Each structure stands twice: as C-alpha cells, then as structure tokens.
Structure 1
Amino acid sequence: MRIGLFGGSFDPPHEGHALASHLALTRLRLDRVWWLVSPGNPLKNTSGLPSLAARMAAAREVARDPRIVVTNVEAQIGARYTADTLRFLHRRCPGVRFVWIMGADNLLQFHRWRRWEEILRTTPIAVIDRPGATLRAACAKAALRFPAARLNEQAAPLLASARPPAFVYLHGPRDPSSSTALRRKAGRP
C-alpha cells in the first residue's frame, strides 16, 4: 500500500487541496491520500480556529474522492508535531509506504518545523508546485540542506519506494486558492 499524507489545519479546505491530492495520486501512483486534519498548528495563531469536527466535515465535502480519506489521527494519538505523527504511523503500519505531501509554499518554511531533518530522513516528500513558490522553493533551506535527495520529476512514481531522504517537485495544474486568503475574505485571522 502506498499512502500520501497531506497534513494541515484545513482552515478552510479548498479545491487546491483536492487538486494537489489528485496530482499526487496520479504522479506518485499512490493508492490513497490521507488528509491529516490537525488539531492545531504550532507555527500559527489558532485563535478563531473552527472545531476539528467542523474542519473535517468541510474537508470531506471538498475531497469528494473515495481515495482521499479525511482523518483526525493526530488528535487520536495526541501528536502535536508531524515528526511524532510519522513515527507513530511508521511503527503502526510497517508495510505501508508513506509519502509526505506538502505545497512548495510550505517547503519555504519547512526548516521551522520541529525535527524537520528527522522528517526528511524517515519519509519521502512530494513537494507540489504552488503559485508564487515555483522558483523560490528550489532555494528553500531544506532543499539546499539535502540536494542529493532530490529526484528528477520523471522518477516520481519511484518516490514511495525511495530510501529517505528523498523528495520530488511535482508540477501540474495549479489552483490559486489559499486558506489564508479565504480566511481573510471571511474576516478571520
């Protein structure tokens, strides 16, 4: 089983999340993508964050694909950080090939994540191109720290089986939707 893990607050979920998931499913030849709707984000102000149940319900409406599974696994296991979630999943599901999915905009600040190098050393990463981040993502601290880990985009189907550290940039249709912009439009922080 090859499963992509797409984590975030999904506040709110939008078509860009679904588009990125479909791109990953197709190009990485994944069986499933799990949306890991987080209880909160340690790097963001979570005041006014809708309930986990409300965000999960909204995410299910956007996902609309049986291969995309909306989960609250981080809340269930009490994980606050991605590295802890990945450690749990690798132990719990030893036969599964996991791939972490992130937008190129997130790669730019990935070095701020707790134990980000551990994440890179334990789980292959697919970086999905995002408007405004295409050229800057190649200069992200994580990309510069692990230059030999980058696979050619044509090798994307091999990523789930690659030995970490390994990452690939995926280019394809892009959606300009942004949770930050959608919150601002709704008058929320």
Structure 2
Amino acid sequence: MRQGFPKARAGEVIGLFGGSFDPAHQGHAHITREALKRFGLDRVWWLVSPGNPLKPQGPAPLDTRMARAKAIMQHPRVIITDVETRLGTRYTAATLDQLSALYPGVHFVWLMGADNLAQFHKWQRWRDIASTTPLGVLARPGDRIPARMSPAAAVFGRARIPGRASQLLGRAAAPAWCFVNVPMVEQSSSAIRSKGGWV
C-alpha cells in the first residue's frame, strides 16, 4: 500500500464519509458512530476533501481541517485521511474508482446525510456511484421527506434495504442503499463559520 494511505484488508467493510469538514464538529462524529452501529461497518474513513465542487467558496486550508477533524473524531475504528488529495481526485466517482482499484476485496459503503441524497442527482456520475457502491443514508431533521422524494431515491427505489435490515448494507451488492433515522446533534459547519468560530 502507498505511504500515507489507510490500511485495509480484503473482506473488510469500510464506510467512506466524505466532505470538506469546514470545520468538523460533534454532529459529524455522532453520525459516524451511528453509521458504525447501523450499517455493519468494520471502520469508517473520513475523507477530508481538497474542496467541494458544489460549493462556490473554497474551504479553510487542508492541514487546518485535518487537525480539527482528528481532534473532534477520536475513535479506534475511525481514520481521518486526506486520501483524495493524495489521489488527485475532486469528485466522488473518481475517488471510488481509484479506491476500488487500490483495495481489491474491500467492501466500501458511501455514507451521506439525507440532505446529500436529496441533491445526489447533481453529483458527477451519480448513477455510477449508486450502481457500484452501497449507500448508507443517515436522516437529519427536516431532510427526511426531500431525500425520500429525490430523483436518486426514485431511480434506485428497488435497491433500497429497509432500515430494520440496515446491518446487511455493508455486504450487499450494489446497487443498494439504506435510509435510517437517527437522533441528530444540531450542529452545522456553516453555523460555526457564520458565528466566527472558525478560520
């Protein structure tokens, strides 16, 4: 394995939680712990991205965001990584293509909030992502109905795993997705930035 890349063994189930984490906060940590419990994951990797292509303004420096993420998310089964910067990818589909090639036999699950599912159809190659990688969707207050009514939910409706069977997601063949309701911590990166509590 390349230096600086997380280690994983064939057969492991790794949840991938991507984002700018600008900044990381307890809400991110909370849904990560919930994902570990709900989706049958061995570990979760936080993919701290170089930037979000859907956001017009760039984030704080990567080193600053990585340090904050490591301070917020301290868990033996969670790894904070800048793997997208190391791979030179900016879009999820390209990241997944490369990770699948680098880690043969590892089962990846893409984790997202319900707000992301609601706009998933705007992502580059979103159909490819859903067709090749199981999706674990964690519902946040106010996002449940828009997510369930989203174009992606309609297109992949037959691939949905019921919430009561969420533990099956990690080893399910794609396309597969599972929507679970979890108690949420009411924090957001944008609110932290707007209050001047960040870089």
- TM-score, normalization: structure 2? 0.91
1:121 is matched with 131
Alignment of 1:168-183 (within 5 A): 168-183=178-193
Percent identity reads 51
Amino acid at match of 2:95: T
Alignment match of 1:9 (pick from 20, 28, 41): 20
2:135–2:177 CA contact under 8 A, matched in 1? yes
Moved more, 114-123 or 126-135: 126-135
1:78 is matched with 88
Report the count of equivalent residues. Answer: 188
Distance 2:183 2:197 in 1: 28
Find runs of 4+ consecutive structure 1 residues off by over 2 angstroms: none
What secondary structure sits across from 2:54 in the alignment?
Answer: coil
Q: Does 1:20 align with 2:31?
A: yes
1:165 is matched with 175
Distance 1:32 1:91 in 2: 19
CA deviation vs aligned residue, 1:151-175 (integer Å, no higher than 9, x gap): 1011111111111111001112211
Once the two structures are TM-superposed, the CA of residue 186 in structure 1 deviates from its matched residue by 1.7
Once the two structures are TM-superposed, the CA of residue 142 in structure 1 deviates from its matched residue by 0.5
2:46–2:81 CA contact under 8 A, matched in 1? yes
Distance 2:190 2:120 in 1: 17
CA deviation vs aligned residue, 1:12-59 (integer Å, no higher than 9, x gap): 101111111101101112111000000011110234x21111000000
Alignment match of 1:106 (pick from 116, 122, 132): 116
Once the two structures are TM-superposed, the CA of residue 94 in structure 1 deviates from its matched residue by 1.2
Gaps of 5+ in 1: none
Alignment match of 1:59 (pick from 69, 79, 82): 69
Distance 1:16 1:187 in 2: 16
Once the two structures are TM-superposed, the CA of residue 187 in structure 1 deviates from its matched residue by 7.9
The alignment yields a C-alpha RMSD, in angstroms, of 1.4
- TM-score, normalization: structure 1? 0.95
Once the two structures are TM-superposed, the CA of residue 120 in structure 1 deviates from its matched residue by 0.2
What secondary structure sits across from 1:177 in the alignment?
Answer: coil
Distance 1:187-1:157 versus aligned 2 partners, 3 A rule: closer
1:131–1:175 CA contact under 8 A, matched in 2? no
